[in-house]
Amino acid sequence: MKAVTTKTDPGHFFEDFKLGQRLVHATPRTVTTGDVALYTALYGPRFSLFSSDAFARGCGLVSAPVDPLIAFHIVFGKTVPDISLNAVANLGYAEGRFLAPVFPGDTLSAVSDVIGLKENSNGKTGVVYVRTTGTNQHGEAVLSYVRWVMVRKRDEAAEIVEQTVPTLSTAVAPADLALPPGLDFSAYDWALAGAPHAFEDYEIGEKIDHVDGMAVEEAEHQMATRLWQNTAKVHFNQFERARDPSGRRLVYGGVVISTAKALSFNGLQNAGLILAINGGRHVAPFFAGGTVFAWSEVLDKADLGAAGALRLRLVATKDAPCAEFPDKGGEGVYDSSVILDFDYWAAVPKRV
Amino acid sequence: MKAVTTKTDPGHFFEDFKLGQRLVHATPRTVTTGDVALYTALYGPRFSLFSSDAFARGCGLVSAPVDPLIAFHIVFGKTVPDISLNAVANLGYAEGRFLAPVFPGDTLSAVSDVIGLKENSNGKTGVVYVRTTGTNQHGEAVLSYVRWVMVRKRDEAAEIVEQTVPTLSTAVAPADLALPPGLDFSAYDWALAGAPHAFEDYEIGEKIDHVDGMAVEEAEHQMATRLWQNTAKVHFNQFERARDPSGRRLVYGGVVISTAKALSFNGLQNAGLILAINGGRHVAPFFAGGTVFAWSEVLDKADLGAAGALRLRLVATKDAPCAEFPDKGGEGVYDSSVILDFDYWAAVPKRV
Amino acid sequence: MKAVTTKTDPGHFFEDFKLGQRLVHATPRTVTTGDVALYTALYGPRFSLFSSDAFARGCGLVSAPVDPLIAFHIVFGKTVPDISLNAVANLGYAEGRFLAPVFPGDTLSAVSDVIGLKENSNGKTGVVYVRTTGTNQHGEAVLSYVRWVMVRKRDEAAEIVEQTVPTLSTAVAPADLALPPGLDFSAYDWALAGAPHAFEDYEIGEKIDHVDGMAVEEAEHQMATRLWQNTAKVHFNQFERARDPSGRRLVYGGVVISTAKALSFNGLQNAGLILAINGGRHVAPFFAGGTVFAWSEVLDKADLGAAGALRLRLVATKDAPCAEFPDKGGEGVYDSSVILDFDYWAAVPKRV
């Protein structure tokens, strides 16, 4: 009889990764309006561009694209079995660029290239850096980003010969931001979009409290995570999690990102279209039952011609309204309520 | 630096409404089969007309329209940020008419006209009456209804000059009921529909216990409400609700309507198509964990030619089976189990 | 006034069934990509054939078919009001054959033929055997299976004249397995499918621990069950269930099947396409809050020409990892953790 483990995938351990290695991730995924409906039900986003085919056509597109975060979650989910099944921690994102809009009917697949490896001094773990690319059925890249995670070694004695830490940009340069082909905000309907705030109205340094709070239930985060075929055990295996000090399933960080992004409508009504992810940190774990609040800060502005772009910092908290903008202090220590610090570029229409 | 509140929408207070004012609501919404699947998963409706394209074609339509309550929830949800974000209570509905069927792919938007204002004697609140119209991508009205809500004043000293209370019909007249164009019940498949009960079989005064009970979970009502981009804080912000005497998130009243309507299949199998909402009252708040039961009473009948119409009263209860038809007593005081009293017209096939 | 019970469906009792009787089930159902999205969100399946239109086209199909279990759940759900509303227990399945693939846009309806009746000696219940057939909008059978359930008598004195117990196969013969027309695995993309394991790599007697555990929440099983318009009270009516010794709503057995099937990806990555259900037993009730684990055993193999077929036994447990393959002992008594024992045939690509 065959051994059990030859067919069950144990995931990769740190010594399994090699610099320059390309991982082809399983399970291509056709995106549908069913996914969009579930995304709406799970987060309640109100950005018109993703909500209405008619509105999207008024912006020069053939129909409503899906929220770029849907593409991100799908591609990210595919990488989990190969990259982070044995991860101790998800350390960061960088150089995330949305390269082409995704529409219902498109099929996404993903590959990851190992661009960095750094063993930790304890000899038990190491940090793996991958650049992941999501591609549609035409072979066109729709998304690219770097992620680094701390991964366990299977065998502490395993020697890691080739190591390197890649140099990563702190933010995607405006020249590298890609607007969806055909995007034309010249007839933008500000009333249907929900607010008159244009690119010109936002100032660097401006902070916006998004006011509303959104509770997250166990069933919701499990559905949200399975929808993207993300298999990380910590989100689902309550039997095993009962032995963790928390005793709880961990909410997938992407749920916090999407929840906070949906809340950001209140103040950033015209800045729904993410163009790039400069960085992101899941500052503290989040568990079901908590209520997410969020605030944003305008970090930078760039005029892309057909649209403006805002570089935004989206900070999410747990059980803490954000009128006082809970943040990190001078020594970089975050307020205990903060669970997410996410840095991205979004397109926003110009007034003229 | 700009003030925070210039971009965050605080919602309208009583003194912000003016008679004759038209509010254009944000976020048009394309309805999809994904919405229909979620509606089915959340309530379990079994009316064949909305479940099967083939059945709908047998009734003269091009494909299955969505349940009219989906159109209602979508349009209602759009009005919340402008009408009821600062509402103390949702007081009633009247003159609701479904004017054209909605199919997956249609895009709905909504406007509301302020038709009545009445300040309360305490000077702290007032009642706002709006007539809301939902329109599809062709500019065709699909739904119109009046709603009145009690809204807080921002400033108690604000003077409300022009006030009026509109005269509203207690029920939509049969002559004002609109059947979907092309609807033809002459080849109606009673077996596939689930019961042989025709227009002729229902009698005014008849009461029907719908027997089954349906529990509602927190995750379910949150998803059901976000799906329609309804942002009312009371449904989602558990952190804030913890300070309410109930300590609980309130279930959106539309969840109770749709749950009771789905339960009504058992006895009203052929009366799924709502034509009008005559009135509705959320008699008591409903919280997750409760089990909804329902019963119906035939209030009136009208022969519309191509179909019959039943005026029905749908009463929902919490944790109380309805074999004894829990109701309001002689003095108009409801049995403590009643949570909804909803008055509507539905189309029903005639036998011949 | 009419009696209430003439319009409310009480379901059939044992004495209502007659040998040779055909029951036409209500509510035909158009399957959509919305259903597929919900199925993915509820279970997290990763079989590429159902996940990607592009992958399915690479296998000779016009687009991704829906998971055969979706067809099974839909057809099964339709039978509940007529067959098992008054059932005491769901006893078994046999001779389940998937006869044609189902694609989004197809409309399914169902009929059941009563093929067996056997009164129990206590005079209070009897066993009903039905052969149920699911049909698409072209009148083509997509699924056929036998189910037997124990049903209460309305009147213990009722005499059951004609009784018979049908002879049922223990397994569907390989010659009766139907591959989807056009299925062609010659260009199968093993990397995108997630594993290189071909028909030739599986051995009879081989056991596979699927490792991962999946928790099920109340909201999830309710949504999963309502999605298929399954009305069995035990899954939804918490008010009534509070009087049951368990005090809990029972999870629909199909939820356990689909959860375990999704978990089986880890080890059976290329065996997603169920061709037949040989039998199935819900060994113990399952309640929300538990974590499902699963393991599989290869019972048999058959070469179908265009593909191989594996006869698999899928065993699911509650709160018990399956490294030790919890099973039934020599006397047929199951380990207390086992909740499902499911026997099916699945297609799997051959290496050459």
Residues pairing with B93 in the sheet: B147, B280
Which residue's structure tokens are 């960085």?
A279
Q: Is A217 in Cβ contact with C219 (below 8 Å)? A: yes
Which of C61, C164, C168, C172 lies closest to C119 in space, CA to CA?
C164
Q: What is the pLDDT along chain A (352 residues), one digit of tens a residue?
A: 444 447 998 889 999 999 999 999 999 999 999 999 999 999 999 999 999 999 999 999 999 999 999 999 999 999 999 999 888 888 999 999 999 999 999 999 999 999 999 999 999 999 999 999 999 999 999 999 999 999 999 999 999 989 999 999 999 999 999 999 999 999 999 999 999 999 999 999 999 999 999 999 999 999 999 999 999 999 999 999 999 999 999 999 999 999 999 999 999 999 999 999 999 999 999 999 999 999 999 999 999 999 999 999 999 999 999 999 999 988 889 999 999 999 999 999 999 7
Concatenating the DSSP letter of every residue in A40-75 gives HHHH----HHHH-HHHHHHTT-SSPPPPHHHHHHHH
Q: Does C236 touch chain A (CB under 8 A)?
A: no
Give the alpha-carbon dihedral of C52, C57, C60, C61, to 10 degrees.
70
Query: Is CATH 3.40.50.2000 the right assignment for the domain spanning A192-352?
Result: no
Q: What separation in angstroms does the CA of B180 have from each of A26, B59, B177, B185?
A: 46, 10, 10, 11
Which of C58, C164, C71 lies closest to C113 in space, CA to CA?
C164
CA A266 to chain centre: 20
Which of C10, C11, C15 lies closest to C154 in space, CA to CA?
C15
Q: Do C48 and C195 touch, CB atoms closer than 8 A?
A: no
Q: Does B21 touch chain A (CB under 8 A)?
A: no
Q: Which of B291, B298, B299, B312 to mutate to test the interface with C (most CBs of C within 10 A)?
A: B291
Please report which helix (H) or strand (E) contains residue B302, including its range.
Answer: strand B291-303
Q: Is A226 in Cβ contact with C54 (below 8 Å)? A: no
- For CA atoms C337, C343, C347, C349, the dihedral sign is positive
The pLDDT of residue A9 is 87
Q: Do B176 and B276 touch, CB atoms closer than 8 A?
A: yes
Which of B313, B306, B307, B316 lies closest to B337 in space, CA to CA?
B316
For residue B77, how many other CB atoms are within 10 A of its CB? 25
Q: Is A218 in Cβ contact with B27 (below 8 Å)? A: no
Please report which helix (H) or strand (E) contains residue C292, including its range.
Answer: strand C291-303
Q: Is B195 in Cβ contact with C109 (below 8 Å)? A: no
- B207-261, pLDDT tens digit by residue? 999 999 999 999 999 999 999 999 999 999 999 999 999 999 999 999 999 999 9
Q: Is B227 in Cβ contact with A37 (below 8 Å)? A: yes
Instruction: Cite the residue boundaries of each domain of chain C with CATH code 3.10.129.10.
Output: 11-155, 196-352
A260 contacts in chain B (CB < 8 Å): none
How many residues would you count in chain B? 352
Which residue's structure tokens are 């011609």?
A305
For residue C137, how many other CB atoms are within 10 A of its CB? 17
Residues pairing with A92 in the sheet: A148
Q: What is the CA radius of gyration of chain A?
A: 20
Out of A217, A220, A239, whose CB is closest to C213?
A239
CB within 8 Å of B73: residues ≥ 6 apart:
B227, B228, B230, B254, B258
- Counting as contact any 3 or more CB pairs under 8 A, the partners of C are A, B
Out of A1, A224, A238, whose CB is closest to C205?
A1
Q: What is the domain class of B1-31+66-168 according to CATH?
A: alpha beta
- C289-333, pLDDT tens digit by residue? 999 999 999 999 999 999 999 999 999 999 999 999 999 988 889
- Residue B159's SS3 state is coil
Q: In this structure, which topology does domain C196-352 adopt according to CATH?
A: Thiol Ester Dehydrase; Chain A (3.10.129)
Q: In this structure, which topology does domain B170-352 adopt according to CATH?
A: Thiol Ester Dehydrase; Chain A (3.10.129)
**Alpha carbons A26 and C194: distance in angstroms, whole number:** 4
A63: nearest CA partner in chain B: B30
Concatenating the DSSP letter of every residue in C293-339 gives EEEEEEEEEEE-SSSEEEEEEEEEEES---TT---B-TTSPBPTTEE
**Alpha carbons C96 and C252: distance in angstroms, whole number:** 19
- Give the pair of three-digit tokens for residue C223: 């949504």
Q: Which of C237, C249, C252 to mutate to test the interface with B (most CBs of B within 10 A)?
A: C237
C227 contacts in chain A (CB < 8 Å): none
Q: What is the domain class of C11-155 according to CATH?
A: alpha beta
CA A93 to chain centre: 8
The pLDDT of residue B5 is 47
The pLDDT of residue A161 is 87
Q: How far is A305 from chain B (nearest CA, A)?
A: 24
Region of C162 (left: φ > 0; alpha: ψ -120 to 50; beta: rest) is beta
Out of C26, C37, C222, whose CB is closest to B34?
C37
The pLDDT of residue C5 is 47
The pLDDT of residue A104 is 98
- C173-212, pLDDT tens digit by residue? 999 999 999 999 999 999 999 999 999 999 999 999 999 9
Angle at A66 between CA A60 and CA A67, to 5 degrees: 105
Q: How far is A192 from chain B (nearest CA, A)?
A: 4
Q: How far is C290 from chain A (nearest CA, A)?
A: 8
Q: What is the pLDDT along chain B (352 residues), one digit of tens a residue?
A: 444 447 998 889 999 999 999 999 999 999 999 999 999 999 999 999 999 999 999 999 999 999 999 999 999 999 999 999 888 888 999 999 999 999 999 999 999 999 999 999 999 999 999 999 999 999 999 999 999 999 999 999 999 989 999 999 999 999 999 999 999 999 999 999 999 999 999 999 999 999 999 999 999 999 999 999 999 999 999 999 999 999 999 999 999 999 999 999 999 999 999 999 999 999 999 999 999 999 999 999 999 999 999 999 999 999 999 999 999 988 889 999 999 999 999 999 999 7
Q: How far is C177 from chain A (nearest CA, A)?
A: 25
Instruction: Cite the residue boundaries of each domain of chain B with CATH code 3.10.129.10.
Output: 1-31+66-168, 170-352
Q: What separation in angstroms does the CA of B344 have from each of B67, B68, B95, B225, B321?
A: 14, 12, 10, 22, 22
- Give the pair of three-digit tokens for residue A275: 């163009």
Percent share of chain C, pLDDT over 90: 93
Region of A60 (left: φ > 0; alpha: ψ -120 to 50; beta: rest) is left
Question: Mean pLDDT across chain C, nearest whole number?
Answer: 96
The complex scores an ipTM of 0.96
- Residue B254's SS3 state is helix
**Alpha carbons B292 and B262: distance in angstroms, whole number:** 11
C232: nearest CA partner in chain B: B212
**Alpha carbons A214 and A223: distance in angstroms, whole number:** 16
Q: How far is A8 from chain C (nearest CA, A)?
A: 4
Report, as an integer, the average pLDDT of C264-278: 98
Out of A201, A220, A289, whose CB is closest to B222?
A220
A47: nearest CA partner in chain B: B27
Q: Does C175 touch chain B (CB under 8 A)?
A: no
A30 contacts in chain C (CB < 8 Å): 51-54, 64
Q: Does A26 touch chain C (CB under 8 A)?
A: yes
Interface list for A 28-47 with B (CB within 8 A): 32-38, 40-47
The pLDDT of residue B320 is 98
Q: Is C27 in Cβ contact with B191 (below 8 Å)? A: no
Which residue's structure tokens are 């004894």?
B324
Q: Do B26 and A194 touch, CB atoms closer than 8 A?
A: yes
B239 contacts in chain A (CB < 8 Å): 213, 215, 291, 293, 319-321
Q: Is A38 in Cβ contact with C41 (below 8 Å)? A: yes
Q: Is A55 in Cβ contact with B107 (below 8 Å)? A: yes
